[in-house]
Every structure is written in structure tokens, then in C-alpha cells.
Amino acid sequence: MLQRLEFRAMGCEMLAVIDREAESGVLPQVPDWFEEWEQVLSRFRYDSELTRLNQTHGKPVQVSEVLWQVFRASQQAEQITDGLVTPTLLDAIIQAGYDRPFDVLLPLASGETVSVLTDSWQLTDITVDAAARALTLPPGMGLDFGGIAKGWCTNEAMKRLQAEGPALVNAGGDIAISGPRLDGNPWLIGVTDPFQPHENIEVLSLNAGGVATSGKDRRRWMRNGVLQHHIIDPFTGQPAETDLLRVTVVAPDVIQAEAAAKAAFILGSRIGLEWIEARPQLAALFILVNGEMVYSHRIEEYL
């Protein structure tokens, strides 16, 4: 029997599910976990650990275990995406207008301009002391873990829940699945139609792993008459402009899925598909701005 808990956190609708007969003791704790993680990882909270880290200006700071793990996850994401997904684009995302939670993001007044990223930071610019779990950010550098943080939280919640049974956690579209359901069947995941959001354009069937979707069909806003969105191309410092509207990726875990979906989106349909196909652990479904759908070979395994 599926036990479900829906709540709101990190600016998203959340869903936690356990497949078990007896009542779950941990399921009600999930919102508290997310609140705790958000207090560490949110760049929108002035008193979060991440905000304080971003204000250290060259001083070494010992970070919490949660922030450390997310930092490690973002290092891996940057590595597997060849630098396309990096937490060092805080300046660019703010310059694009995403300087407050999306819930309260309003169209900005005309006359403001969007400038091209001038300082290009890399994670290697950070001094890392693994033994002391300490980070030293260069002066002027800020981190925004973005989707990687949400992916990590989703994965962590799923791992905690799976002690009680097969579990699924969905954080605004980033989905972590622990294993097959009690009856041995896979979990069915609808892929929403961006043009008719209440309908599924496909249904994925997964036993375990992660699913994530990135695109410019939801978190977007107007600035100076130009449509902006939250996926920044690190080469331009601007919201990525490609022929893609949205990318859904299936991966061994949700963090990889999140990173890969963003990377493919930045690369566009042709190179992005090549990038996906070159990685045997990934499968993807692209939806182009013209409505065309493109399937990677391995996505067939999940349809």
C-alpha cells in the first residue's frame, strides 16, 4: 500500500511515498528534513550556511556535513558534465534576474540591463581541505548549488525512507526511487506535457534510480523585455538558448539525472543527444520548442 505525504519546500511541491502495509514512522519527518537542509543550502535565506559561506571572502570555513556532501556532489556534477553544470554561476544567475525565490520573482522594471558574465569562476578556484572539511572561497566568489542541492536532498530523503520499504521522493520533478515496489512492479512516472501540463506526454517505468527534468518552460521570467530562465550557459553567463524546451533524463541516481538534464539542455538537441548517447548510464527524452520529441535509444527501456 502506498503511503503518500505531500508538502511544500524549496519553492517546490514535494511528494514522499513509501510502499508498505504498516503505518510509516518516518514519513511524517520528511518535511523537517527538507527544512533542515534548506536552512543549510538555500541562497535565498540570509542566515543559511551557504549565504554565510558566500560572505567569507577568502577565509577558510569549516562547513557542515550536509554542505560538504552537497559540495562534493556538485564537484562530481561539474566533472561528469564537463563543466556545464557548476555551482559557480551565482553572479550570472543573479544578473539574469533570479535574485530572489522564484515564488516571489516579479517581472523587473524595463531599463535594467543584463550584462554578460565577466568573472568566470571554477570549482578549482576553491581551496578544499578535506581533512578539516573546510572550504576557502576566493574573494568575490559565491556558490549556488541549485538543482544539485535539491537532487542531493531528494536522494538523501529516499535513502532514509527506504529502511521502511520501497520509497520514492519527488522534489518538484526531481525523483529518486529506491527499488521495485512491494509487488515487484516498477514505479510509473508520468512525464508532463509542457503544452498541456495536466496531461502526461509519456509514462516512464522504473525499478530504481533517478529521474529529473530541466527546461525553460516553468522557471522563467521577463527582464528588460527578454525572456530569462534559470539554466545558465557557463560559456556565456546567460540563460542557455537552444532549440530545447525541456529535457527529461533517467540515470542511476537523481543527482546524475539532474546534472545530465541541465547539461543536455545547454548543449541543445543535436549535441545534447550525442552527449547522452555517449553515456551508457543515461537515457533521455527531449522536447523541442517546436513541439518535436526526441528519444535517446535507451529511453525505450523505460517506456
Partner 1 sequence: MPPKPNARNWNDVQTAIATAAIVTTLGMWNLFASPAKAKESDEPAQPDTLPPTEAPTELPVGVFSTPTAMPPVKIIFAQATVSEPATTNVQQPQAQNPTKKKKKKNNNNGGGGGGGGGGGQPVTQTQSS
Name the site residues for partner 1 (rule: CB under 8 A). 1-2, 12, 15, 17, 147, 150, 168, 170-175, 181-197, 200-205, 211-219, 246, 248, 258, 269-271, 273-274, 277, 286, 290-297, 299-300, 303
State in angstroms the smallest separation of the CB of 269 from partner 1. Answer: 6
Alpha-carbon distance 274 to 288, whole Å? 15
State in angstroms the smallest separation of the CB of 273 from partner 1. Answer: 6
State in angstroms the smallest separation of the CB of 104 from partner 1. Answer: 18
State in angstroms the smallest separation of the CB of 21 from partner 1. Answer: 11
Alpha-carbon distance 85 to 258, whole Å? 9
Comparing CB distances to partner 1, the nearer of 238 and 269 is 269
State which amino acid sits at residue 153. C
Which residue in 96, 92, 116, 117 sits closest to 107, CA to CA?
Answer: 96
Comparing CB distances to partner 1, the nearer of 1 and 163 is 1
Comparing CB distances to partner 1, the nearer of 132 and 303 is 303
State in angstroms the smallest separation of the CB of 72 from partner 1. Answer: 21
Comparing CB distances to partner 1, the nearer of 10 and 141 is 10
Comparing CB distances to partner 1, the nearer of 155 and 214 is 214
DSSP the chain: -EEEEEEEETTEEEEEEEE-SSPPSSGGGHHHHHHHHHHHH-SS-TTSHHHHHTT-TT-EEE--HHHHHHHHHHHHHHHHTTTSS-TT-HHHHHHTT--S-GGG--PPPTT---PPP-----GGGSEEETTTTEEEPPTT-----HHHHHHHHHHHHHHHHTTSSSEEEEETTEEEE-S--TTSPPEEEEEEETTEEEEEEEEEEESSEEEEEEESSSSEEEETTEEEES-EETTTTEE--SSEEEEEEEESSHHHHHHHHHHHHHH-HHHHHHHHHT-TT-EEEEEETTS-EEE-GGGGGG-
Comparing CB distances to partner 1, the nearer of 135 and 256 is 256
Comparing CB distances to partner 1, the nearer of 17 and 27 is 17
What is the phi-psi region of residue 159: left when phi exceeds 0, alpha when psi lies from -120 to 50, beta otherwise? alpha
Comparing CB distances to partner 1, the nearer of 86 and 170 is 170
Alpha-carbon distance 34 to 10, whole Å? 8
State in angstroms the smallest separation of the CB of 248 from partner 1. Answer: 6
State in angstroms the smallest separation of the CB of 23 from partner 1. Answer: 16
State in angstroms the smallest separation of the CB of 35 from partner 1. Answer: 18
